[in-house]
Structure 1
Amino acid sequence: MAHSHASWAFDGPAEAPPSPRTMRTLRKIRSHQVLTTSSALIAQTQSSQSSGARDAENGTAVVLGNATVRTPAHRRARSNSDAAARMAALTAPVPTRRPPRKTGSGIGIKRSPLETFLRDGPQNGQGREGLQELKLLILSCRVDADGDGMSPYRIYLWLVLLNIPPVPTDEYLAFIHRGRSPAYAKIRNDTFRTLATDPLFKRRVTEASLIRLLNAVAWKLHDSKTKRKSRPSSRRREMELLVNTPPRIDEEPEDPGSANSPPVNDSAIYVQGMNVLCAPFLYAARSEVEAFALFHFFVTKECPGYIRGAMDGVHRGLRLVDRCLEIVEPKLAAHLFSKGMYAELYAFPSVLTLCACTPPLPEVLHLWDFLFAYGSHLNIVCIVAQLVRMRDTLLASDNPNKILRNLPPLNAKEIIALTVLLVQRIPSDLYAEMVTHAK
């Protein structure tokens, strides 16, 4: 069994591109060009109405056109003088106009442009142009969701945007059946604290499912590391094998000169904070397999630097927050720096988790729709946008540390709109550093 999603997103040339990582970087640079030409963010809000018959304590309401006729619950015998007229009124033909149907996450015929596009694909069948149109729809139309942030098609939208193929369920189950991974103790130490104050997350996602998913990803990362470390990397390693005294795998030093070793080679199989980064995937997914595919892809392809070594990718991101703030709001940056408030003191969780640490969760999901469409590196600008929205409060405070200890609740619509404006002021060389900072 395997999950499936829109197949048109994976249409492409028969031959694979020579360098997928280079192509992803170029697509993100093009996303920057698209965003810098955007002048406004169009928000679309849809409302649903419902109508029909309902039972009341004193009788039943019957809707006839624009009029409502109530029939009493307890009827008595009536004279024949008005029986015919009453029956004629109750059996009058109902107008053919239908009441409005629920849209969005409910069951209805009418769909939003975004949902229709995701279901039917591009009209001309061109995957590349269709993907660009899909991103523009995300920028102009919010993903339809209920009050809990749940959408029937958001998870497929993410799979399409990140170009993740289906993962067989048996592959995920194989990791589950292997039991505890080497990082199991660390995982159990964090999972019970994951979004502990968010009732929406606690109601939908169990700690057991979070443990299973993180444990499965840890096993896959562990296997990848072990496979790379078991390869002979130098002449010295070959001589050690000849004398039958190979070093232990977990003690073997990395070979910095190996050109074949990708950056994820020295990644940890689990670091603190991965549980929060994983939470929105598991909340939005319709199955653990989908969340597994998304989360593993994200930590190995989109932000491997966040789980590598001393989390150097996160620290680069923190420095980029300070540099971007200096460019877009120099007065605010100077005020914070004069108080010793650098991003490393308050923005570490926001960088590592793509703002998933800041409630409410439904707004996080809307923000992630935007980040997955135009690049997760834009999270750096989203953090700056949150600071800009607090500008007056921070400038008036002699102790900004107390304010920044807990950022205000997310407002995805306003943050995205401000990010689109701020990104136009980011120099191209600094933007290029943002694109690659998590690699």
Structure 2
Amino acid sequence: MTSSPYRNAPHFPPTSTGLPPSSPRTAGRLRKLQSQPSLISQQRHQQLRNASPSRNPAIPALPVFSTPRKHTRTRSNSDVVATSSPSTGPSTQRAQISRRTENPKDELKSLMRRGPRGDLPNALQSLRHWILVDGLEADNDGMSDLRIYVWLIMLNSPPLSTDVYLELIRRGPSPAYAKIRNDTHRTLMTNPLFKRRVRENSIIRLLNAIAWRLHDAKSDRMTDSGRITNASTDFGSPELQHVEPVKKHAKGASTVTGDGSEAGGSEPGIYVQGMNVLCAPFLYAARTEPQAFIAFHYFITRECPGYIRGAMDGVHKGVALVERCLAIADPKLSTHLLSKGVKAQIYAFASVLTMSACTPPLPEVLQLWDFLFAFGSHLNILCICAQLMMMREELLADSSPGKLLRSFPPLQAKKIVELTVGLVRKIPPELYEELVHHAE
């Protein structure tokens, strides 16, 4: 059997922008992360190269990071020992002091603003390494000045003119408007942080604009012959290229519901229940609604188009994969749950559909999403397994574990990520490829 490209080498399918996809889509990159040469050795190797690669002006700038430093107290001027060396002038001394005292947050901001000094794949890998090792700095509410920009980079989302978003809003209610209004008031309704920052009107506007965009994309793809056209859209690239055409008015064919989604079909709908929760972290982290709109749009159309189909086949595949992965990660726990009639369809459906956003607290959700966007949203399946393993002792000791799984304990993003990285190494190659492709 030939080795899987997802294990041995990074595989970047061509896109219209010429950029690699935001998610690595490779188990090998994540499995071999600890065996990678240190950033110091990579930097020294980079400095030995006399000629730097030419930068493509069409490629957006991304940072290459130096070795992360721990937070230390900045030295005051009185702490600096004066030197009498004639070769060191005042300007040189100031530059040296600045380099020594620059903390990782300021360094990351500077590099995000100026862009990479090397090639793009290495810059993306450095950013992923930064997220995994140090994480993005945020306050107690989970707010970070850099998070939305990191998400946009990892999702490979292009800039969006505010006028494009406003034009979608001016079109009024979409075919899915009634269903959207029925869900939005329940979005993270018990979360005071979210309610304080995001109004229901913002959720309605964003989801209605998404519904119009998906409605237009569906109309453009369908031709008289029933084939899908992969014409570029205003966003710069084809959308939902993996879906199958819907054959209407045939036996067993899908039917169009009142909200514009197909019931039981493989063609994406324009709104499915759960999208309101899935868009909530984008609105919370973004500085503007257009930012949240373009990031959310690219997420659902590139990362998990199978989750928004009328039949939600991607979600059901993900739920089945939770049970299969748990059986490998923790056979005893898996056997215990199945023996008590507790199936993943009962406890994992909401977590799969919402990328674990249904489990508070919200700041931990944002931190977990940093990891998912950096290394692939398919890893949410393993994150759910990790959450079950964190409850292992309680579940094994309970004769009715289903009651404990009615709601998961509060998220602990850092611990979940640590367990997930370990689980990646246990998953067989064939099963891991199913993880990667299950949401297409």
Q: Same fold (TM over 0.5)?
A: yes
Select 1:154's aligned residue among 144, 147, 155.
147
**Contact persistence 1:339–1:399 (CA under 8 A):** yes
Residue of structure 1 in register with 2:53 after alignment = none
Residue of structure 1 in register with 2:278 after alignment = 277
**Contact persistence 2:151–2:373 (CA under 8 A):** yes
The RMSD of aligned alpha carbons is: 3.3
Residue of structure 2 in register with 1:297 after alignment = 298
**Contact persistence 1:135–1:374 (CA under 8 A):** yes
1:28 aligns to 2:32 (yes or no) = no
Residue of structure 1 in register with 2:14 after alignment = 17
* Cα distance between partner residues in 1 of 2:348 and 2:73: 38
Give the superposition deviation at 1:312: 0.4
Q: What are the Cα deviations for residues 234-259 of structure 1, in whole angstroms up to 9, with x where unaligned? A: 69xxxxxxxxxxxxxx99458999xx
**Contact persistence 2:226–2:247 (CA under 8 A):** no
1:172-187 to 2 correspondence within 5 Å? 172-187=165-180
* Cα distance between partner residues in 1 of 2:252 and 2:300: 22
1:102-141 to 2 correspondence within 5 Å? 110-112=103-105, 113-123=107-117, 125-141=118-134
Residue of structure 1 in register with 2:326 after alignment = 325
Q: What are the Cα deviations for residues 367-408 of structure 1, in whole angstroms up to 9, with x where unaligned? A: 000000000000000000000111111000011111000100
Residue of structure 1 in register with 2:224 after alignment = 232
Mark the CA change 1:142 to 1:22 in structure 2 (over 3 Å): closer, same or farther.
closer
Give the superposition deviation at 1:339: 0.8
Residue of structure 1 in register with 2:405 after alignment = 404
State the aligned residue count.
347
Mark the CA change 1:21 to 1:420 in structure 2 (over 3 Å): closer, same or farther.
farther
Residue of structure 2 in register with 1:81 after alignment = none
1:171 aligns to 2:172 (yes or no) = no
Q: What are the Cα deviations for residues 29-67 of structure 1, in whole angstroms up to 9, with x where unaligned? A: 2xx112212459x99985999xxxxxxxxxxxxxxxxxx
* Cα distance between partner residues in 2 of 1:177 and 1:394: 51
Mark the CA change 1:337 to 1:407 in structure 2 (over 3 Å): closer, same or farther.
same
Letter in 1 for 2:279: C
Give the superposition deviation at 1:26: 9.2
**Contact persistence 2:266–2:311 (CA under 8 A):** no
Mark the CA change 1:299 to 1:95 in structure 2 (over 3 Å): closer, same or farther.
closer
Mark the CA change 1:122 to 1:194 in structure 2 (over 3 Å): closer, same or farther.
same
Letter in 2 for 1:232: D
**Contact persistence 1:44–1:140 (CA under 8 A):** no
* Cα distance between partner residues in 1 of 2:288 and 2:306: 27
**Contact persistence 1:228–1:265 (CA under 8 A):** no
Q: What are the Cα deviations for residues 134-190 of structure 1, in whole angstroms up to 9, with x where unaligned? A: 111111011000110000111000111111110111110001001111111101111
Q: What are the Cα deviations for residues 58-88 of structure 1, in whole angstroms up to 9, with x where unaligned? A: xxxxxxxxxxxxxxxxxxxxxxxxxxxxxxx
**Contact persistence 1:341–1:400 (CA under 8 A):** yes
**Contact persistence 2:278–2:354 (CA under 8 A):** yes
Mark the CA change 1:20 to 1:399 in structure 2 (over 3 Å): closer, same or farther.
farther
1:2-401 to 2 correspondence within 5 Å? 17=14, 24=21, 27-29=24-26, 32-39=27-34, 96=78, 110-112=103-105, 113-123=107-117, 125-229=118-222, 231-233=223-225, 252-253=248-249, 266-401=267-402
State TM-score, norm by structure 1: 0.73
Mark the CA change 1:282 to 1:45 in structure 2 (over 3 Å): closer, same or farther.
farther
* Cα distance between partner residues in 2 of 1:305 and 1:22: 23
**Contact persistence 1:270–1:307 (CA under 8 A):** yes
Give the superposition deviation at 1:285: 0.3
Give the superposition deviation at 1:97: 5.8
Give the superposition deviation at 1:114: 4.0
Partner of 1:405, secondary structure, is: coil
Letter in 2 for 1:199: P
Mark the CA change 1:428 to 1:47 in structure 2 (over 3 Å): closer, same or farther.
same
Mark the CA change 1:26 to 1:97 in structure 2 (over 3 Å): closer, same or farther.
closer
Give the unaligned 5+ runs of structure 1. Answer: 1-15, 50-93, 99-107, 236-249, 258-263
Letter in 2 for 1:153: L
Give the superposition deviation at 1:115: 3.7
Letter in 2 for 1:127: L
Identity of aligned residues (%): 55
Give the unaligned 5+ runs of structure 2. Answer: 1-12, 36-66, 81-100, 228-245, 254-264
Mark the CA change 1:280 to 1:232 in structure 2 (over 3 Å): closer, same or farther.
same
Partner of 2:14, secondary structure, is: coil
Give the superposition deviation at 1:357: 0.3
Partner of 1:356, secondary structure, is: coil
Mark the CA change 1:173 to 1:347 in structure 2 (over 3 Å): closer, same or farther.
same
State TM-score, norm by structure 2: 0.73
Moved over 6 A (4+): 18-23, 42-45, 254-257
Give the superposition deviation at 1:27: 3.5
**Contact persistence 2:317–2:438 (CA under 8 A):** yes
**Contact persistence 2:148–2:285 (CA under 8 A):** yes
Give the superposition deviation at 1:23: 6.5
* Cα distance between partner residues in 1 of 2:400 and 2:328: 23
Letter in 1 for 2:136: V
Give the superposition deviation at 1:18: 6.8
